[in-house]
Protein backbone atom coordinates (compact mmCIF):
# COMPACT_ATOMS: atom_id res chain seq x y z
CA UNK A 1 0.00 0.00 0.00
CA UNK A 2 1.31 3.46 -0.83
CA UNK A 3 0.54 6.30 1.52
CA UNK A 4 0.01 9.74 0.01
CA UNK A 5 2.59 12.17 1.40
CA UNK A 6 1.18 14.72 3.82
CA UNK A 7 3.06 17.97 4.40
CA UNK A 8 1.77 20.41 7.02
CA UNK A 9 3.06 23.83 8.01
CA UNK A 10 2.82 24.83 11.66
CA UNK A 11 3.01 28.60 11.72
CA UNK A 12 3.15 28.69 15.54
CA UNK A 13 2.81 32.26 16.88
CA UNK A 14 3.61 33.92 13.57
CA UNK A 15 1.44 35.76 11.05
CA UNK A 16 -1.51 37.84 12.16
CA UNK A 17 -4.52 38.02 9.80
CA UNK A 18 -2.97 40.42 7.30
CA UNK A 19 0.35 38.60 6.95
CA UNK A 20 -1.37 35.22 7.07
CA UNK A 21 -3.61 36.19 4.18
CA UNK A 22 -0.57 37.23 2.13
CA UNK A 23 1.29 33.98 2.87
CA UNK A 24 -1.81 31.91 2.08
CA UNK A 25 -2.22 33.71 -1.25
CA UNK A 26 1.38 32.94 -2.17
CA UNK A 27 1.03 29.32 -1.12
CA UNK A 28 -2.12 28.93 -3.17
CA UNK A 29 -0.27 30.21 -6.23
CA UNK A 30 2.88 28.13 -5.70
CA UNK A 31 1.25 24.86 -4.68
CA UNK A 32 -1.49 24.58 -7.31
CA UNK A 33 0.36 21.87 -9.23
CA UNK A 34 1.14 19.48 -6.37
CA UNK A 35 -1.86 17.23 -6.64
CA UNK A 36 -0.09 14.11 -5.36
CA UNK A 37 0.58 15.53 -1.90
CA UNK A 38 -1.88 16.30 0.89
CA UNK A 39 -1.24 19.78 2.31
CA UNK A 40 -2.26 21.69 5.42
CA UNK A 41 -1.31 24.88 7.22
CA UNK A 42 -1.90 25.72 10.87
CA UNK A 43 -2.15 29.50 11.41
CA UNK A 44 -2.73 31.18 14.79
CA UNK A 45 -6.41 31.13 15.78
CA UNK A 46 -7.09 34.78 14.88
CA UNK A 47 -5.78 34.23 11.37
CA UNK A 48 -7.82 31.11 10.64
CA UNK A 49 -10.80 32.92 9.01
CA UNK A 50 -8.56 34.86 6.61
CA UNK A 51 -6.59 31.74 5.66
CA UNK A 52 -9.73 29.60 5.24
CA UNK A 53 -11.24 32.23 2.93
CA UNK A 54 -8.05 32.56 0.93
CA UNK A 55 -7.45 28.82 0.56
CA UNK A 56 -10.98 27.92 -0.50
CA UNK A 57 -10.83 25.48 -3.44
CA UNK A 58 -7.03 25.36 -3.20
CA UNK A 59 -6.86 21.83 -1.85
CA UNK A 60 -4.77 23.12 1.09
CA UNK A 61 -6.42 22.21 4.38
CA UNK A 62 -6.43 24.48 7.42
CA UNK A 63 -5.58 23.18 10.88
CA UNK A 64 -5.79 24.48 14.41
CA UNK A 65 -2.58 24.38 16.43
CA UNK A 66 -4.34 23.09 19.56
CA UNK A 67 -7.83 22.75 21.05
CA UNK A 68 -9.56 22.43 24.41
CA UNK A 69 -11.16 19.11 25.28
CA UNK A 70 -14.57 20.62 26.15
CA UNK A 71 -17.17 21.79 23.61
CA UNK A 72 -17.75 25.14 25.35
CA UNK A 73 -17.71 26.67 28.81
CA UNK A 74 -15.87 28.92 31.21
CA UNK A 75 -12.36 28.22 29.90
CA UNK A 76 -10.97 31.68 29.24
CA UNK A 77 -8.75 31.84 26.14
CA UNK A 78 -9.51 28.28 25.05
CA UNK A 79 -10.91 27.14 21.68
CA UNK A 80 -12.89 23.94 21.11
CA UNK A 81 -12.68 21.53 18.23
CA UNK A 82 -16.26 22.37 17.33
CA UNK A 83 -15.26 26.04 16.99
CA UNK A 84 -12.34 25.11 14.75
CA UNK A 85 -14.72 23.14 12.52
CA UNK A 86 -17.14 26.06 12.42
CA UNK A 87 -14.27 28.33 11.38
CA UNK A 88 -13.41 26.01 8.48
CA UNK A 89 -10.63 23.82 9.89
CA UNK A 90 -10.46 20.14 8.97
CA UNK A 91 -7.34 19.27 10.97
CA UNK A 92 -5.82 20.05 14.35
CA UNK A 93 -2.38 19.55 15.89
CA UNK A 94 -2.53 17.77 19.25
CA UNK A 95 0.26 17.34 21.78
CA UNK A 96 2.87 19.52 20.15
CA UNK A 97 6.03 19.51 22.28
CA UNK A 98 5.69 23.27 22.85
CA UNK A 99 2.23 22.64 24.30
CA UNK A 100 3.67 19.87 26.44
CA UNK A 101 6.76 21.72 27.67
CA UNK A 102 5.63 25.37 27.79
CA UNK A 103 1.93 25.02 28.60
CA UNK A 104 1.95 21.89 30.72
CA UNK A 105 -0.09 19.59 28.50
CA UNK A 106 0.38 16.19 30.14
CA UNK A 107 -0.16 12.86 28.40
CA UNK A 108 -3.62 12.77 30.00
CA UNK A 109 -4.47 16.23 28.63
CA UNK A 110 -3.19 15.20 25.21
CA UNK A 111 -5.37 12.07 25.30
CA UNK A 112 -8.45 14.14 26.19
CA UNK A 113 -7.71 16.63 23.41
CA UNK A 114 -7.24 13.82 20.91
CA UNK A 115 -10.67 12.43 21.80
CA UNK A 116 -12.16 15.92 21.57
CA UNK A 117 -10.69 16.36 18.10
CA UNK A 118 -12.24 13.09 16.93
CA UNK A 119 -15.56 14.02 18.58
CA UNK A 120 -15.58 17.29 16.62
CA UNK A 121 -14.82 15.49 13.36
CA UNK A 122 -11.33 16.96 12.99
CA UNK A 123 -8.39 14.96 11.64
CA UNK A 124 -5.78 15.10 14.39
CA UNK A 125 -2.03 15.33 13.91
CA UNK A 126 -0.73 13.75 17.10
CA UNK A 127 2.80 14.85 18.01
CA UNK A 128 5.22 12.65 19.91
CA UNK A 129 8.94 12.96 20.51
CA UNK A 130 11.72 12.61 23.03
CA UNK A 131 14.00 15.24 24.58
CA UNK A 132 17.78 15.17 24.12
CA UNK A 133 18.26 13.94 27.68
CA UNK A 134 15.85 11.08 27.03
CA UNK A 135 17.65 10.18 23.80
CA UNK A 136 21.08 10.36 25.45
CA UNK A 137 19.78 8.06 28.19
CA UNK A 138 18.79 5.52 25.52
CA UNK A 139 15.09 5.98 26.28
CA UNK A 140 13.89 7.60 23.02
CA UNK A 141 11.92 4.61 21.75
CA UNK A 142 10.31 3.92 25.13
CA UNK A 143 9.32 7.58 25.53
CA UNK A 144 7.73 7.79 22.10
CA UNK A 145 5.85 4.49 22.33
CA UNK A 146 4.78 5.44 25.86
CA UNK A 147 3.33 8.72 24.58
CA UNK A 148 1.50 6.81 21.85
CA UNK A 149 0.13 4.26 24.29
CA UNK A 150 -1.30 6.95 26.57
CA UNK A 151 -2.73 9.04 23.72
CA UNK A 152 -4.33 6.16 21.80
CA UNK A 153 -5.52 4.06 24.77
CA UNK A 154 -9.09 2.90 24.26
CA UNK A 155 -9.52 4.25 20.74
CA UNK A 156 -10.95 1.89 18.13
CA UNK A 157 -8.91 0.87 15.08
CA UNK A 158 -11.25 3.06 12.99
CA UNK A 159 -10.47 6.06 15.16
CA UNK A 160 -6.73 5.42 14.96
CA UNK A 161 -7.04 5.21 11.17
CA UNK A 162 -8.11 8.85 11.14
CA UNK A 163 -5.02 10.08 12.97
CA UNK A 164 -1.71 11.29 11.55
CA UNK A 165 1.26 10.82 13.85
CA UNK A 166 4.05 13.40 13.81
CA UNK A 167 7.40 12.29 15.22
CA UNK A 168 9.09 15.47 16.36
CA UNK A 169 12.25 14.93 18.40
CA UNK A 170 12.28 17.88 20.80
CA UNK A 171 16.02 18.42 20.28
CA UNK A 172 15.45 18.99 16.55
CA UNK A 173 12.66 21.58 16.84
CA UNK A 174 13.75 25.09 15.96
CA UNK A 175 17.39 24.17 16.57
CA UNK A 176 18.55 23.70 12.99
CA UNK A 177 19.69 20.29 14.15
CA UNK A 178 17.65 17.68 12.35
CA UNK A 179 17.49 13.95 12.93
CA UNK A 180 19.42 12.14 10.22
CA UNK A 181 17.24 10.27 7.73
CA UNK A 182 18.44 7.00 9.32
CA UNK A 183 17.64 8.17 12.87
CA UNK A 184 14.20 9.36 11.83
CA UNK A 185 13.47 6.22 9.81
CA UNK A 186 14.45 4.07 12.78
CA UNK A 187 11.90 5.80 15.02
CA UNK A 188 9.21 5.80 12.34
CA UNK A 189 9.71 2.05 11.89
CA UNK A 190 9.41 1.60 15.65
CA UNK A 191 6.13 3.55 15.63
CA UNK A 192 4.77 1.51 12.72
CA UNK A 193 5.69 -1.79 14.30
CA UNK A 194 4.14 -0.61 17.60
CA UNK A 195 0.91 -0.01 15.62
CA UNK A 196 1.28 -3.42 13.92
CA UNK A 197 1.46 -5.17 17.27
CA UNK A 198 -1.82 -3.61 18.45
CA UNK A 199 -4.13 -2.99 15.52
CA UNK A 200 -5.34 -4.77 12.38
CA UNK A 201 -2.97 -4.64 9.42
CA UNK A 202 -4.85 -1.80 7.79
CA UNK A 203 -3.85 0.59 10.59
CA UNK A 204 -0.04 0.43 10.30
CA UNK A 205 -0.40 0.24 6.51
CA UNK A 206 -2.53 3.38 6.32
CA UNK A 207 -1.60 5.72 9.17
CA UNK A 208 0.81 8.39 8.01
CA UNK A 209 3.80 9.28 10.15
CA UNK A 210 5.23 12.75 9.56
CA UNK A 211 8.69 13.82 10.64
CA UNK A 212 9.11 17.26 12.21
CA UNK A 213 12.13 19.18 13.47
CA UNK A 214 14.13 21.61 11.35
CA UNK A 215 12.82 20.27 8.05
CA UNK A 216 14.22 22.52 5.31
CA UNK A 217 14.37 22.36 1.50
CA UNK A 218 17.94 21.06 1.79
CA UNK A 219 17.18 18.05 4.00
CA UNK A 220 13.59 17.25 3.00
CA UNK A 221 14.36 14.83 0.19
CA UNK A 222 16.63 12.66 2.31
CA UNK A 223 14.04 12.42 5.05
CA UNK A 224 11.00 11.97 2.81
CA UNK A 225 12.64 9.21 0.77
CA UNK A 226 12.69 6.92 3.83
CA UNK A 227 10.11 4.12 3.61
CA UNK A 228 8.30 4.97 6.85
CA UNK A 229 8.43 8.77 6.58
CA UNK A 230 5.16 9.80 4.97
CA UNK A 231 5.41 13.55 5.21
CA UNK A 232 6.59 16.43 7.33
CA UNK A 233 5.36 18.83 9.96
CA UNK A 234 7.29 21.97 9.15
CA UNK A 235 7.77 24.92 11.48
CA UNK A 236 10.14 27.75 10.52
CA UNK A 237 10.48 26.82 6.84
CA UNK A 238 6.68 26.89 6.42
CA UNK A 239 6.68 30.66 7.01
CA UNK A 240 8.34 31.21 3.64
CA UNK A 241 6.16 30.16 0.70
CA UNK A 242 9.08 29.23 -1.55
CA UNK A 243 10.76 27.09 1.13
CA UNK A 244 7.49 25.34 1.86
CA UNK A 245 6.91 24.74 -1.84
CA UNK A 246 10.41 23.27 -2.19
CA UNK A 247 9.74 20.89 0.72
CA UNK A 248 6.44 19.85 -0.87
CA UNK A 249 8.27 19.30 -4.17
CA UNK A 250 10.68 16.95 -2.37
CA UNK A 251 7.69 14.82 -1.37
CA UNK A 252 5.90 14.79 -4.70
P1 LIG B 1 10.90 23.72 13.06
O2 LIG B 1 10.66 23.18 11.66
O3 LIG B 1 10.95 25.21 13.13
O4 LIG B 1 12.05 23.03 13.72
O5 LIG B 1 9.58 23.31 13.90
C6 LIG B 1 9.13 22.00 13.85
C7 LIG B 1 7.83 21.94 14.53
O8 LIG B 1 7.74 22.07 15.74
C9 LIG B 1 6.62 21.74 13.71
O10 LIG B 1 5.52 21.49 14.49
Please write the tens of the pLDDT for every residue from 22-40.
999 999 999 998 989 999 9
Distances, alpha carbon 96 to alpha carbons 19, 71, 104, 138, in Å? 23, 20, 11, 22
147: left (phi over 0), alpha (psi -120 to 50) or beta: alpha
Distances, alpha carbon 46 to alpha carbons 65, 87, 198, in Å? 11, 10, 39
Residues within a 6 A CB radius of ligand 1: 10, 96, 168, 173-174, 212-215, 233-237
Query: Does the model's pTM come out above 0.75?
Result: yes
Quote the ligand 1 centre to 25 CA distance (angstroms).
22
Residue 33: the pLDDT is 86
Quote the ligand 1 centre to 59 CA distance (angstroms).
22
Please write the tens of the pLDDT for every residue from 181-213.
999 999 999 999 999 999 999 999 999 999 999
Question: Could you give the 3-state DSSP secondary structure of residue 221?
Answer: helix
Domain-by-domain residue ranges, the chain? 6-251
Q: Which of 63, 165, 234 to mutate to test the pocket of ligand 1 (most atoms within 8 A of CB)?
A: 234
What distance in Å separates the CA atoms of residue 205 and residue 161, rounded to the nearest whole number?
A: 10
Pairing outcome for strands 91-94 and 123-128: parallel
What distance in Å separates the CA atoms of residue 147 and residue 163, rounded to the nearest whole number?
A: 14
Residue 1: the pLDDT is 59
Quote the ligand 1 centre to 74 CA distance (angstroms).
31
* Nearest of 17, 10, 78 to residue 215 by alpha carbon: 10
14 among known catalytic residues: no
Catalytic residue among 82, 98, 130, 168: 168
Q: Whose CA is nearest to atom 5 of ligand 1?
A: 235
108 among known catalytic residues: no
Quote the ligand 1 centre to 139 CA distance (angstroms).
22
The pLDDT tens digits along the chain (252 residues) read: 589 999 999 999 999 999 999 999 999 999 998 989 999 999 999 999 999 999 999 999 999 999 999 999 999 999 999 999 999 999 999 999 999 999 999 999 999 999 999 999 999 999 999 999 999 999 999 999 999 999 999 999 999 999 999 999 999 998 888 899 999 999 999 999 999 999 999 999 999 999 999 999 999 999 999 999 999 999 999 999 999 999 999 998
* Nearest of 174, 229, 201, 173 to residue 6 by alpha carbon: 229
Q: Whose CA is nearest to atom 7 of ligand 1?
A: 235
Q: Which of 167, 169, 173, 231 to mutate to test the pocket of ligand 1 (most atoms within 8 A of CB)?
A: 173
Quote the ligand 1 centre to 241 CA distance (angstroms).
15
Please tell me the CATH code under which domain 6-251 is placed: 3.20.20.70
Amino acid sequence: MTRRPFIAGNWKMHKGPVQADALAAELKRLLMDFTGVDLAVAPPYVSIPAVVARLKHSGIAVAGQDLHDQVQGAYTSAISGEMLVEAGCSHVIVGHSERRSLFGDTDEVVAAKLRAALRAGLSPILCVGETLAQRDAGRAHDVVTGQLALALAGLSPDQVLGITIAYEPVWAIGTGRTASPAQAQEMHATIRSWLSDRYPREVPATVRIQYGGSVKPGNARGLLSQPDIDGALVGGASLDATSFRDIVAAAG
